[in-house]
Amino acid sequence: MSSSRIAFLFPGQGSQHVGMGKDFYNRYPFAREVYEQANDILGWDIAKLSFEGPKEKLTLTSNTQPAIMVHSYIACTLLVENGVNPSLAMGHSLGEYSALLAAGAMDFPTALCLVKERGRFMHSTVPESGGAMAALLGLDREVVEAICREASGVVEVANYNAPGQIVISGEQDAVEAAVSLAKDRGVRKAVMLPVGAPFHSSLLEEAGRRMREVLESVSFSELTIPVYSNVTSQPVIDSEEARELLKKQVRAAVRWEDSVRSAERENISAFIEVGPGRVLSGLNKRIVREVPVFNVEDSESLEKTLSKVAGLS
């Protein structure tokens, strides 16, 4: 297989869809074994929920997060088994756990247990006042940051996703006020997101505290490849640093655009989105248009990506 430098991208919450993973399950004995192992670890049938829904149940944070990670793990393993090894990895929010799994920081049962707890904590610690998130399109980050400071109440930048695409998070009233301010500043589009919690904001401090306690109880191995941190957008190879950054990740902003730009400077030949959907592929095309991005979410996209990677110089 090609000796090109490949970066693996692992999706986060929002990439899930009913039917994800079913093709892998039907075609590969390994995938069936992973789903059976995951069912035992979680104590519920993640395969049935992933393949059949209902959508409303799959979308719940406590269900979505392990479902996406299981799918990504299978896709990643199939790529590696076919000779495509990443030179570095990164994951969007939840996806950072999949990236660390790919880098050998932990084994699959450990990663799944961590994600199970993460999803549970995030689902159960929504503030009484509720919370909201909104995507703002067409504004510079400095403008969005100023809007968050001006709006009364708790509203903060949650995701720096791509040029002109920033997500804010916080109290319902404060997010709505920020959206109104954004319209006054010429935002191209403002979309309230259908989420169950104000992710990556200080309102999830309690979930972050509980996650820090869980992370303290787990041993991390040294990483075999760099993983770019959501918190700093910089590469991490040291196991303790990886753990410390994960402790901050639940409530810190996701610096995705900066992470992708940092990775591009490492002479990356191609990015591969590993797991359900093509959300990150779309973002990447806006961040680094000159570097190709492929995706692997089923056997058809796996074969197509293997062919394209083999053709890279």
237 phi, psi to nearest 5 deg: -125, -20
Count of residues in the chain: 313
Marked catalytic residue, from 50, 72, 93, 98: 93
- Going edge to edge, which strands form the sheet with 165-170? 155-162, 165-170, 132-137, 189-192
Chain centroid to CA 74:
16
Q: Is residue 93 flagged as an active site residue?
A: yes
Residue among 138, 145, 179 nearest 255 (CA): 145
* Catalytic option among 50, 98, 169, 200: 200
Cα–Cα dist 10/259, whole Å? 13
Which residues 6+ apart lie within 8 Å of 115 measured at CB? 65, 66, 69, 94, 97
C-alpha–C-alpha distance, residues 77 and 104, integer Å = 12
Phi-psi region of 26 (alpha: psi -120 to 50; beta: other; left: phi over 0): alpha
Q: Is 92 a catalytic residue?
A: no
How does DSSP classify residue 295? E
Active site residues: 93, 200
